[in-house]
Amino acid sequence: MSILTSLRESAAPAVAVEITSGRVSAASLDWRAGQPAVAAHASEPLPDGALVASLTATNAHDRPAVVAALSRLFEQVGRPRRIGLVIPDIVAKVSIVRFEQVPSRPQDLDQLVRWQVRKSAPFAIDEAQVSYVPGLLAEDGREFIVTLAKRSVIQEYEQLCAEAGAHAGLVDLATLNVINAVLAGRGAPSGDWLLVNIAADYTSIALLRGPNLIFFRNRAADTDGTLADLVHQSAMYYEDRLKGAGFSRVILCGAAAAGAHQTGNIEQLRRSLEDRLRTPVESVDPRTAASLTDRITAAPALLDGLTPLVGLLLRDRAEVQA
């Protein structure tokens, strides 16, 4: 089992499940006239402190409570036996590495990637689960998007699902699937664009050039500095180091679901970002990729919560370029 940073590596599961520090949620899709629609959605809260996402430490502090919530969740979406699992960004490190020459043999490339990321790994590389996919092809080499996580932490999430009755056949990170939901939707960005994904306990910034990830940064919610400062620093890096000419779109996800705790309310956050970036900020909308049934009310918090789930379920439709 490995964390995947691409939505093309294996067939998409029928049900996607997300585990966060505050809730577990799930969604499934129907296909109507060749177009996807969200057929079922459910969410269950977790008690405070039951699960605390961490890169290196134990995440589940009340396993029975998490398993019970997952069991109730699975009952509501048809008792799936196989699921795709979305986990918090902060349980892994996402890096973009560039090689001038790429080895022709896969095993040699594996060794090269592991050697490159071992220097920044917060644990022994032999305890790590490392995966990678090709990124931007440049004149001076090939980039790779590398995800590194502690194997025992990933196994912990898989075992929680197994105890509740489902096999996690695919494990991936939340923001990577928000990206994939955007790419799978109508009017996917073609120029440079920025995604700000907010969770209750972290924020992730992703810069993309069309479908290619060119920058990724994650910060815990209790870190000093405001979210607007983090976005501004990322934008300066984009202009100075990535030859950025400006963002065609700026997309915000998670503010409604997380309560926009960093700034107090969603509109204040939006205005702050627009002032810093001098670009309109739009909220993510998974309905560009999958419609909702009549019985599902499209509240902003629900759209935030659905987005990574839809992204995982439509992983084969995301226009990711190698």
Place of tokens 């004149």: 139
- Kindly provide the b/e burial profile for residues 234-249, where b requires at least 16 CB atoms within 10 angstroms of the residue's own CB: bbeebeeeeebeebeb
Q: What is the pLDDT along the chain (322 residues), one digit of tens a residue?
A: 234 434 344 566 889 999 999 999 999 999 988 899 999 999 999 999 999 999 999 999 999 999 999 999 999 999 999 999 999 999 999 999 999 999 999 999 999 999 999 988 999 999 999 999 999 987 788 999 999 999 999 999 999 999 999 999 999 999 999 999 999 999 999 899 999 999 999 999 999 999 999 999 999 887 877 787 888 899 999 999 998 989 999 999 998 766 654 445 677 778 888 888 888 999 999 999 999 987 677 888 899 999 999 999 998 776 443 3
How far is 201 from 67, CA to CA, in rounded Å? Answer: 21
Model pLDDT, residue 7: 37
Contact 303/286 with Cβ under 8 angstroms?
Answer: yes
pTM: 0.92
Model pLDDT, residue 320: 42
How far is 312 from 289, CA to CA, in rounded Å? Answer: 11
Model pLDDT, residue 9: 46
How far is 232 from 242, CA to CA, in rounded Å? Answer: 14
Contact 95/27 with Cβ under 8 angstroms?
Answer: no
Q: In what order do the strands lie in the sheet with 128-138?
A: 92-99, 141-150, 128-138
Model pLDDT, residue 318: 65
Model pLDDT, residue 140: 82
Question: How far lies 13's CA from each of 58, 114, 126, 152, 196, in Å?
Answer: 27, 28, 29, 23, 26
Domain coordinates of the chain in residue numbers?
Answer: 15-91+150-313, 92-148
Model pLDDT, residue 150: 96
3-state class (DSSP) for residue 212: strand
Diameter of the chain by CA atoms? 53
Model pLDDT, residue 257: 67
How big is the chain by its Cα radius of gyration, in Å? 19
Which architecture, in CATH terms, is 15-91+150-313?
Answer: 2-Layer Sandwich (3.30)
How far is 101 from 43, CA to CA, in rounded Å? Answer: 46
